[in-house]
């Protein structure tokens, strides 16, 4: 008989300083992370659009720690999510390689789609890399916001708010994207 405290899967909606976020997990690890929305209901709708999201809200210890880390990140702290277990069952080998390479990027570190493809062993496939990142089920833990288009341009972002959300997340990490401010704008008068 299994102990009643065994937790196999669940979900949580958390309120952070940047909005409501959601996570879902299986017995193997994180399966879904939803970036900020304005309401708890919007996050729940997004979470439950995906198969395999459990209605349970019981949290194993690693999830309690992950929630605290997400809240700390949202508050501007340097957080390392590389140790978070992720369940990527059903994801093809190309995407797994891209996600693994992206997970090696640290807080405030960026690269381009082309360079990430190369690091993942798939040089010459920047568009395919962008498509793989657009399908990322656990943004932030697999930090797809840290991947830029060629020439340091922001590139796309499939989360709510699109590229503006990506730019805000990068700014939280101290990364400025885009042209430098005009000389006159750099003074306070």
**What are the residue numbers of the active site?**
144
Residues with Cβ within 8 Å of 79's Cβ and at least 6 positions away in sequence, in order, are 69, 70, 72, 73, 107
Are the C-beta atoms of residues 50 and 120 closer than 8 Å to each other? no
Are the C-beta atoms of residues 15 and 34 closer than 8 Å to each other? no
Q: How many CB atoms lie within 10 A of CB 12?
A: 20
Distance from CA of residue 118 to its chain's centroid? 21
Burial class (CB in 10 A: 0-12, 13-18, 19+), 115: middle
């Amino acid at each position: 008989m299994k102990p009643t405290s065994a937790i196999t899967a669940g979900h949580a909606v958390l309120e952070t300083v940047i909005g409501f976020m959601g996570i879902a997990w299986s017995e193997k690890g994180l399966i879904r992370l939803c970036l900020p929305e304005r309401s708890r209901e919007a996050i729940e709708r997004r979470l439950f659009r995906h198969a395999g999201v459990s209605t349970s809200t019981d949290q194993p210890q690693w999830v309690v720690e992950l929630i605290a880390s997400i809240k700390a990140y949202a508050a501007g702290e340097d957080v390392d999510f590389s140790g978070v277990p992720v369940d990527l069952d059903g994801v093809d080998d190309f995407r797994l390689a891209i996600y693994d390479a992206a997970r090696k990027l640290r807080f405030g570190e960026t690269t381009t789609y082309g360079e990430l493809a190369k690091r993942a062993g798939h040089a010459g496939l920047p568009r395919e890399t962008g498509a793989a990142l657009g399908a990322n089920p656990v943004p932030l833990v697999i930090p797809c916001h840290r991947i830029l288009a060629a020439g340091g341009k922001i590139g796309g972002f499939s989360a709510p708010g699109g590229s503006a959300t990506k730019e805000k997340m990068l700014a939280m990490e101290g990364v400025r994207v885009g042209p430098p401010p005009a000389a006159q704008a750099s003074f306070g008068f």
